[in-house]
Amino acid sequence: MNTALGFGYVAFIIYLANLVLLGGFRVELLRWMLLGLCLLLGMIGLSVLQEAGSAVAILTSVTIVLGAVTAGMFTLHAPTRQQLRRWLPARATYQPDSIMHTAAIVFILFQVLFTLAIFQLSGGQAGLAEMIANNPPTVADSIFSGAVYTLLALGGVGFYLRRSMPETLHRLGLDRLSPTAALIAVGAGLLMQVASLVFTALWVSMTPPDVVAQQQAAGNAIALASVGSLWTILISAGAAAIGEEILFRGALQPVFGLALTTLMFTFVHTQYLGSPALLYIALMGAALGWLRIRYGTIAAIIAHFLFNLISLQIASLGVA
């Protein structure tokens, strides 16, 4: 219920942001609504400090509160938004005065830091893995998550309100894919899987066995919570690939550029903090971003889906 209410609030803000761009709503009122999210984020950061007084909890709390302040600066302080424009590449379409672009920054910061809070309050990676094992996600959860990301992307680019269906598909990079590009996407997905195995092998060779055992046990618990039958694996892999690629590579990357979008994609996966998997997610995000630039979002979806499918299948066999 809380998740649905949170998504409803965000969806309402996106709708109003579209109205602002169309000249039908006052931008000042919407900035106050975004500021409400920033204040909520600050309260979450303080709650982390109340729940646990360890050095890690203090650092996490400070990080979340500073993130809330940063989100507030983007909401209310035009020079902060203009500074970001100077840092981004010339091809990025980010506009400091666009309330939609400001809302995207606030939403991503909220998602990343909220996930960080959950990670800390659940006891780190091992605690999160135990929590997931006790309350495993369902196929419906995977579909809901993918649908939320997709709807956020559609709303963010103004589907129906500011863009027609063909315009929306083109804006999201969902243009028709050539057979050659499809084969390249399949090859990229396979290559990413091979690179993941090599990366894991190198990490194992350089890490103390007790640390490896702890992180692999936690990682496997998280992965195994998402697998079951072949249909479950297919749906979980597809929902994540479609939702994440349409949002991050399709909607956000043209606005914020490859580097910043890759950072956003990486730190949304805060549940992998403390694991080398987070570094590989960054490398994978950059590769998927390159596919988006070169061949479009559908190519990135295919590669991401194939990577997820093989990873979950390996986990289901107890090999991971």
pLDDT tens readout for residues 129-187: 677 667 767 778 888 999 999 999 999 999 999 999 999 999 999 999 999 999 999 99
pLDDT at position 38 is: 95
Distance CA 277, CA 128 (A): 15
pLDDT tens readout for residues 175-195: 999 999 999 999 999 999 999
pLDDT tens readout for residues 196-232: 889 888 877 776 676 666 566 556 665 655 566 778 8
Tell me which H or E stretch contains 164. Answer: none
Q: Compute CA 183 distance to the chain's CA centroid, rounded to the nearest angstrom.
A: 26
Q: What is the DSSP letter of 245?
A: I
Distance CA 198, CA 126 (A): 24
Above 60 in pLDDT, residue 320?
A: no
3-state secondary structure of 163: strand
Q: How much of the chain, in percent, has pLDDT values that exceed 90?
A: 60
pLDDT at position 319 is: 46
Q: What angle do CA 263, 118, 45 make, to 5 degrees?
A: 85
Q: What is the pLDDT averaged over residues 302-313?
A: 93
pLDDT tens readout for residues 245-290: 999 999 999 999 999 999 999 988 866 666 777 888 999 999 999 9
pLDDT at position 116 is: 87
State which amino acid sits at residue 293. Answer: I
pLDDT at position 52 is: 61
pLDDT at position 219 is: 60
Above 60 in pLDDT, residue 49?
A: yes
Phi, psi (rounded to 5 degrees) for 144: -60, -45
